[in-house]
Amino acid sequence: MATDIQNLGGFVWSIAEILRGDFKQSEYGKVILPFVVLRRLDCILEGSKDDVLSAAETLPDGVDEATRDMILFGAVGGNVKVYNLSRFTFDKLRGQDPRQLHDNLVDYITKFSGNVRDIFLDKFLFTDQLKRLKDGDILWNVFERFAEIDLHPDTISNLEMGYLFEELIRRFSEISNETAGEHFTPREVIRLIVDLLIANDDEKLTGRGIIRQVYDPACGTGGMLALTEEALKDFNDAIRVELFGQELNGESFGICKSDMLVTGHDPEQIAFGNTLTQDAHAGKRFHYMLSNPPYGVDWKKYQDPIKSEAENLGMDGRFGAGTPRISDGQLLFLQHMISKMRDDEIGSRIGIVMNGSPLFTGGAGSGESEIRRWMLENDWVEAIVALPTDLFYNTGIQTYVWLLTNRKPANRQGKVQLIDASGERFWKSMRKSLGSKRREIPEEARAEIVRIYAGFLNGESGEGGVSRIFDTSDFGYREIRVERPLKLNFSVDAERLDRLSDQKAFAKLEENEQAEIRFALKAIGDKLFTNRTEFDKALTAALKKAQIKIGAPVKKAIMAALSERDDEADICLGKDGKPEPDTDLRDHELVPLTEDWRDYMKREVRPFVPDAWVDQSHTDARDKQVGRVGYEINFNRYFYQYVPPRPLEEIDAELKALEAEIAGLLKEVTA
């Protein structure tokens, strides 16, 4: 099937060559994609054209739009929720005067039912492209080529159409240097996510009268929704699957909604717009949610409504747990999905693919850490699967599938399963690379990953070290602030006196004032003071003798200029008589949540720096205990395998061989 779709994609792609010169390469998709949708709809509706036109003629005057649509949808038959009242089809248009093709196509497009007409006019802006084709005198050539393609469902299934759209989008994105990954996800990755989502739901999905609602907040062309429905139907063909989604890209939205129309789904459940700022499905809850949100895409241009919701609604909104850094909005999508979990016996399951950033970016107290904390402390994270690199069309980076649910089985409660499926046993090289996609997950590897997950295997040895089970608290830590005492010596020498000019408070004084202070300081002499209190007394006495009065900022500047750190000096004490911390020596230690920070200090810090102490005012904003709580999930730490370096003799021999090769090449050049 994949080969046939690639051949068909190649034929459609060849039509784009006609556009060369009249359209930029980046604009090819604006013509080709809507033409593919139009031809698909034409093939679907051609057989019922006469019945629809007859039914339209019998409609009573003044019939409302909803009733008219219901009657005409019925005339089309099946589950198709689209009709066309034009007398034209592609076949009939070929028999018309080519000079009238533009007007006839506009008539054809504008006489679709409203749900499709809006897609062509508002999302594809197709009439604008038709005019450009007409003005370039290439409209007939493009139309004729599309009329040769058979896109009837008996020839090309809905699933195959999804492949065709994605193949075309990938090609158009490549030539225009756009991000193909923002539009769709490789099918084998989607199948893996779907298989993982329903792996242990056999009992819940068995029987009749079962309804499952599936949602993708960044649905693109609808690939994830379509494959989830396919998997659920394969498991139980009696299941009723309702698909919901939202998409920001106009072309992808148009394709997805068109697909929903011809497959009998409610097209109004696919919404257009920004999910994060305009939730089109507010208040709705779903059984299964899956998504591949954009990686590393900033949300600066629409940050105001998001931050406003986070601050004003708190945990009653979608982003109350925290907001990630402005450069990456992946965790916003995940929070949005969590807000749509069902609070019933069945609950919800989420599968989302993200890059490595959400695992560990951000220290204790940061937005990312607080979001991870919220998810782990609520025990929603069930498993995380590390995928191989080079799987996606637009990037070779490593990605991870997160699986979350609010109805964990008893054996998984309080636990998180990490699966490292990045190794060679889980991928194979593609015969031909597609953009950055050079690898794919074969069916047998997908089945193996699902088996490891479904069996909740802790296979540190038996499974080759690719699956490990952790307590949720294992990913948490307390960031304690470790202080060391400030130790300074003081001296009035020429070098330190010169530093006074660098102190802002001193530099602001009049020149005669500065001179007077310098003269008074010299009276202290060149003695080295190792006790700050003693030097303070000497300084006060010298200034008093010279009848000079200074403010606190100037005194602070003098003390700073005349001091140097000295491990042999006495500890500087604060007004409360306690050691004053040296901010330059301040450090932070990450103490596992499962350990008391006092024990950690006794074992890991004090043997090396006996005078260190913990700043107990550095507390967590939520639990008020010492140290700020943070969470991170570091795959490399848990799955690192030591690889011994090669023997020096082997490296040396290799270097000598390379030197000999280089020398030979140089001889050829200079000969």
Q: Shortest CA distance to 476 belongs to which of 343, 633, 327, 623?
A: 633
- Rounded CA separation 340/51 (Å): 42
Of 468 and 432, the structure prediction assigns the larger pLDDT to 468
Burial of 169 (0-12, 13-18, 19+ CB in 10 A): buried
State mean pLDDT over 217-246.
93
The answer on pLDDT for 661 being more than 60 is yes
Euclidean distance between CA atoms 263 and 158, whole angstroms:
8
**How would residue 463 be classed by pLDDT, with cut points 50, 70 and 90?**
low
pLDDT, tens only, 502-515 = 999 999 999 999 99
Number of H helices, E strands in the chain: 27, 17
Residue 339 backbone phi and psi in degrees, to 5: -65, -15
The rounded percent of the chain whose pLDDT value lies above 70 is 96
Calculate mean pLDDT across residues 549-566.
94
Asked if 404 and 382 count as a contact pair (C-beta separation under 8 A), the reply is yes
How many whole angstroms separate alpha carbon 290 and alpha carbon 298?
21
The answer to whether 230 and 195 are in contact (CB under 8 A) is: no
Please state the three-class secondary structure of 102-152 as a single string: HHHHHHHHHCECHHHHHHHHHHCCHHHHHHHHHHCCCHHHHHHHHHCCCCC
Least confident of 72-86, 359-373, 449-463, 614-628: 449-463
Least confident of 88-92, 125-129, 548-552, 646-650: 646-650
- What is residue 175's predicted lDDT score, i.e. its pLDDT? 67
- pLDDT above 90 coverage of the chain, percent: 71
Q: What is the token pair recorded at 321?
A: 């747990």
pLDDT above 90 (res 41): yes
The answer to whether the CB of 379 falls within 8 A of the CB of 414 is yes
DSSP H or E run through 587? strand 587-592
- Rounded to whole angstroms, the Cα distance separating 130 from 109 reads 11
The three-state secondary structure class of 215 is strand
Distance CA 97, CA 114 (A): 28
E strand or H helix that includes residue 419: strand 415-420
pLDDT at 218: 94
Spatial CA neighbour of 113 closest among 164, 139, 74, 165? 74
With bands split at pLDDT 50, 70 and 90, how would you rate the model's confidence at 321? very high
- 437, 391 contact by CB (below 8 A): yes
Residue 296: count of CB within 10 angstroms of its CB: 13
Residues 6+ apart with CB under 8 A from 498: none
356 CB neighbour count, 10 Å cutoff: 17
- In CATH terms, 180-456 corresponds, of 3.40.50.1970, 3.40.50.150, 3.90.1310.10, 1.10.760.10, to 3.40.50.150
Q: What is the spatial distance between Cα 472 and Cα 417, in angstroms, rounded to a whole number?
A: 10
Q: Is 194 exposed, middle or buried (0-12, 13-18, 19+ CB in 10 A)?
A: buried
* Mean predicted lDDT score pLDDT of the chain: 91
Overall average pLDDT of the 1-10 stretch: 67
Q: What's the pLDDT at 183?
A: 47
Read off the pLDDT of residues 593-612 as tens digits, 9 standing for 90 and up: 999 999 999 999 999 999 99
Residue 191 confidence class, pLDDT cut points 50, 70, 90: very high
Q: Does pLDDT of 391 surpass 70?
A: yes
Q: What is the pLDDT of residues 558-589, one digit of tens each?
A: 999 999 999 999 999 998 899 999 999 999 99
pLDDT category, 233, cuts 50, 70, 90?
very high
Looking at residues 247-276, what average pLDDT do you find?
Answer: 88
Q: Tell me, what amino acid is at 268? A: E
Q: Which long-range contacts (CB under 8 A, 24 or more apart) does 78-81 make?
A: 78/264, 79/263, 79/264, 79/265, 80/44, 80/45, 80/261, 80/262, 80/264, 81/113, 81/115, 81/260, 81/261, 81/262, 81/264, 81/265, 81/266, 81/267
Instruction: Quote the pLDDT of residue 1.
Output: 47
pLDDT at 461: 47
How far apart, in whole angstroms, are the C-alpha atoms of residue 315 and residue 309? Answer: 10
Strand 476-483 to 467-471 pairing = unpaired
**Mean pLDDT to the nearest integer, 390-406:** 90
Per-residue confidence (pLDDT) for residue 464, from 0 to 100: 55
- Expressed in angstroms, the distance from the first to the final Cα of the chain is 56
CB atoms within 10 A of CB 247: 28
Write the burial class of residue 17 (CB in 10 Å: 0-12 exposed, 13-18 middle, 19+ buried).
Answer: exposed
Among 323-327, 373-377, 383-387, 434-438, name the one with the lowest average pLDDT.
434-438
Euclidean distance between CA atoms 39 and 93, whole angstroms: 12
pLDDT over 50 at 499, yes or no? yes
CB 86 within 8 A of CB 108: yes
pLDDT recorded at residue 158: 80
For the record, the structure tokens of 315 come out as 């945990």
Rounded to an integer, what distance in angstroms lies between the CA atom of residue 7 and that of residue 10?
5
Q: Which DSSP string corresponds to 522-566?
A: HTT-S--B--HHHHHHHHHHHHHHTT----HHHHHHHHHHTEEE-
